[in-house]
Structure 1
C-alpha cells in the first residue's frame, strides 16, 4: 500500500524528533485518515534503523487490537502475537491492568517502541489525576519505553483530566500536538469523504402536563423548556421509522453504484437495538446484523460484516472509534451518549474514502440541541464544503403527556386508537406520516453562535470541558 502524503510527512517528522532526542510524539489525524497504517510503517522504520527492538501497541477495543496486529504483521513481515520470535504484540488498554512483572521486565531488557491508539482514553499528568489505564502508563511506560507514538482523532476527554503523555500550553491550556492532519485537509486530499449531516426535527409538538398544554416547534425547545427525556424520543417507533426510512432510502440509492455499501445504526441499549432490528424486518423487510456485548463473539461478527456486502449492522458500543469498515456510508446516531467525542467518532465510521464510484457519507440523527451544535462545529472545520448540515422537518404532530406526582415523572402519550403502535413501551406517538418532507439547508455562517466558541481541529483545547447531558449507561441484566 502506498503512503499518503500526510503519512509520509508525519513519519519523517516523528523520525527526526526521535533522532533529535524527543521520546514522545503525539499525532492528531481525523478519523478515517489512516493512522493505523502510518503507525505501522513508522514502527517498521524504527526497527530497520535500529532505533527499537520490539513494538507494543495498545488500543481501546479488541476489534481495533486485531486490526492493528494484522497491519503490523503485513507491513513489517513479522509475527505480532507476543510469542517467542515475534516482534511484539497488540493489546487492549484493559490488559494494562493484568500484565505481570515478566512483561514489564521487557522494558528493561529491550528498546521498546510503544504505540497508543486513541490515547485520549488514558488520562493523567501524574498518578493523582490519572485513570486506571493512565496510571499504568505513568508507572511502567512513560520513563521506560525507548520511544512512544500517541494517536488520536479526537484529542480531548469528556472530563477535565489531561491526556497521558501529553503537553499543554500553559497560557491557553491547549494540547500541544506534534503533527496535525484535520478533516479539511483529508477531504482536500481525497483521504476522507465529506460528511453530510441530516438533523431530523418536528415543528408541531404538543406536551400536556398537569392539565396544562404546551406547544413546541422543535425538539430543542421540547428538551430545554421541559423535563421531557431524550430517551423517549429515540425509542419512539414512529421516529425510528422515519429516521431509518430516510437512511434506508439513501443507502439503497448509494448501493445502485456501490453494491457493497453498508449502513450502521448506533443504538442506546441492547433492548433498543432489538427494537430497531425488529423494525427493520417488519417495516422494511431488511435483515441486519446485531452486535452487542451479549454476543458470543462480537469481534468475529464485526469482521464478518466488514468482509460481506450485507446492508445494515445495528450496534451498541461495539463499532465506534478505530473500527475500520470502509464500506460504511450511512450512519444513524440513535444513542443516548451525547458527547462531542462520541459524536465525531460515530461520524468518522463512514468517512474513510475508498475506490468505489459513490463517495457520499451521511449521518442521520434527531435534532437534539447538543448534537446539532456538534454538527455545526464539524461544518466549521470544513468551511470550503457547502450544505454540511441540513434539517429535515417531519410533517407529523408530536403529542405527549407528562404526569407528575410526588415520586417523580411519568411520560405518557395521547393519540387516537388507530395511531397506537403495538410495542412494549408505547409512550410517544406521531400522527400518520406524510410523504412530503421539508428539507432545509442551514448555511454554515462564521457568525453563528453555535460555532463562534469552537476552535477548529488545528487549535484544539487540551482540557476541553464537554458537557454530557446523559451518558446513557445501561445496567447489565
Structure 2
C-alpha cells in the first residue's frame, strides 16, 4: 500500500511543478532517509500524467539502490519499471553508462525523457577538464538532450572539492544553489527521521611498548587522538585490534538488545574496512552468540541476502561497501562504524542508513565509533546541524563487564572463570585500572581494562 506523501514531499512536488514550467533542471538536497526516491517517483508520475514526457530513466550509484528505485517507481506509477518489455522507464547504475550502446543514448533525443540522478554528488562535471567519467557522460550525452532532469543528493558535496554535475553555484562564493532543501533538523522535528545519538569511544589509559633488539621503551597516552598523533600506531591498527573491536561491538550489542525490547526485529549494521576485517568482526559476534550476516563484494547472492535481512529478524549485518547510501532497511537503528574511510561524505551517508523510521514511537538511532579526530569533528558538525540545546556531551564508563574483569584480575581469577557471569548494564564510575598487554605486529599496546565513551546526544 502506498503511504500518503510527507509534507516536505508535497511541498517539493508543488515547487517542482512551478519550476519545470520555466526550467528543465531541478536540484533537490534532502537529508538521508527522508524519502527522496518516493519524491522522485511522484514527480515522474505527474510529468507522465500531464503528457510532458514519454519515459523515465534513472541512474544511481549501486545495484541495491537501483533495485530500490525500481520497486518504488513500479508501485507509485502502477506500471512496469525496469529492463522489461513495455516499461515506462528503467534504472541503471552510474557504472553502466560506459557500456551502453549507441541506441540507448538516442532515447534522450528521440523521446521526451525525465532523467533522474540519485546521489548526484558522485558525478563531478562542469566541463571535461573538471569532470569524472560519470560527469562527462552527463555533460556530453544527457545535459542538453534530456527534456527534464532531476538531481537528488543527501550530501551534496565532494571530498575532492570538484563541482557536481548539473549543479549551480553562487559567484564568487561558490555556494551550492538548491531548488529545494530539506535538512536533518527539520526532518527530525517533522518526525520523518530518527534523532541520532553518536557515541565516540576513547581510552584514557594507553601504554605503547615499542621493542628494539635488546630494549623496550614504554610511552603513555591519554587518548586515541594523542596515540594516533604521536606514535607509529595508525587508525587502521585500532580497527583491527580485538580488544577495541570487542569494546565497540559490546556497546552496540547492549543498545540493540535494549531497543529490541520494544522493537523485536530491530537490526544493527557493522561497517567494516575490508573483507578480511568483516570476517574478523563476524568471528567476534559469533563468540558473543550474536546472529549475523556478512555481505561483501565477494559474497554470492549478496543483494538477495541483503533483501532477506531486510525482512527477517537477524540481529546484525556486517558489510563492506554493500549497505551505503540509498539502501533502505528500515529496521536498522544501531550502527558500529569500523570503516577506515574517514570522509564526511561517507560518514554522513552511513549515519543515514539508521535514520529511517518504522513508526511514530521509533525516535532514536545509535552510532558507535572510535574517537578518531576527524570522526570526532564530523560528529560535532552533525550536532551543529541541530539547535545547541538539543546536543549534550556526557561521559560514562563502558560497562560493568569490564569493571568485573578488573576486579577478577585483581583477585586472581581468569577471564574464562568469569565469562559466564558477565554483566552488560551501564554504570557511572570512571576510575582507572591496571592495563593489560596486547600485542600488535612489531608493537605491544597496553590498554586499560575498560574504556571511556563520550555520548553525543542529539535530541
- TM value normalised by structure 1: 0.84
Aligned to 2:196: 195
Contact map agreement 1:320 1:346 (CA 8 A) in 2: yes
Q: How does 1:315-334 map to 2 (within 5 A)?
A: 315-334=319-338
Is contact 1:28–1:151 with CA below 8 Å preserved after alignment?
yes
* Equivalence for 2:9: 7
What residue is the counterpart of 1:165 in the other structure? 166
| 1:285 aligns with one of 281, 285, 289 | 289
- Residue 248 in structure 1 maps to residue 253 in structure 2: yes
In the TM superposition, residue 214 of structure 1 has moved relative to its aligned partner by: 2.6
For 2:171 and 2:383, locate their aligned partners in 1 and report how far apart those are by CA, in whole Å. Answer: 29
Q: Superposition RMSD on alpha carbons, in Å? A: 2.3
Instruction: Say whether residues 1:313 and 2:317 are aligned partners.
Output: yes
What CA distance in whole angstroms lies between the structure 2 residues aligned with 1:292 and 1:339?
Answer: 20
Q: Quote the Cα distance in structure 1 between the aligned partners of 2:131 and 2:362.
A: 44
2:198–2:455 contact (8 Å) kept in structure 1: no
Q: Tell me the residue number matched to 1:25.
A: 26
Contact 1:203 1:393 in 2 (8 A): no
Instruction: Quickly say closer, same or farther: Cα 1:345–1:390, change in 2 above 3 A.
Output: farther
2:169 alignment partner, SS class: coil
Q: In 2, Cα distance between the equivalents of 1:169 and 1:222?
A: 41
* Deviation larger for 189-198 or 292-301: 292-301
> 5+ residue gaps in structure 2?
404-433
Q: 1:298 offset after TM fit, Å?
A: 1.3
Q: TM-score, normalised by structure 2?
A: 0.87
2:353 to 349, 352, 356: 349
CA separation of 1:442/1:331 partners in 2, compared to 1, >3 Å: closer, same or farther? closer
Write the deviation string for residues 244-273 of structure 1: whole angstroms up to 9, x where unpaired: 011101100100100010000000010000
Tell me how far apart the structure 1 counterparts of residues 222 and 436 of structure 2 sit (CA, whole Å): 24
Q: Distance in 1 between matches of 2:364 and 2:265?
A: 13
Residue number in structure 2 paired with 1:468: none
Equivalent pair of 1:44/1:76 in contact (CA under 8 Å):
yes
What is aligned with 2:408?
Answer: none
Report the alpha carbon displacement of residue 392 of structure 1 after superposing the two structures with TM: 5.4
Tell me if structure 1 keeps the 8 A contact 2:207–2:447.
Answer: no
Q: Does 1:63 align with 2:64?
A: yes
- CA distance, structure 2, for counterparts of residue 205 and residue 417 of structure 1: 8
3-state SS of paired residue (1:257): coil
1:262 aligns with 2:267: yes
Specify the SS of the correspondent of 1:156. Answer: coil
Q: Is the 8 A contact 2:191 2:360 kept in 1?
A: no
Q: Which runs of 5+ in 1 are unaligned?
A: 397-415, 445-477
What pairs with 1:74-473 in structure 2 (closer than 5 Å)? 74-209=75-210, 211-282=216-287, 284-355=288-359, 357-383=361-387, 386-387=390-391, 390=394, 429-431=445-447, 433-434=449-450, 440=454
Q: Render the CA deviation track for 1:107-151: whole Å, top value 9, x for unaligned.
A: 121100001000000001011211011111111100000000000
TM-superposition CA deviations, 1:363-418 (whole Å, max 9, x none): 0000000000000000000115634655556689xxxxxxxxxxxxxxxxxxx998
Give the aligned partner of residue 455 of structure 1.
none
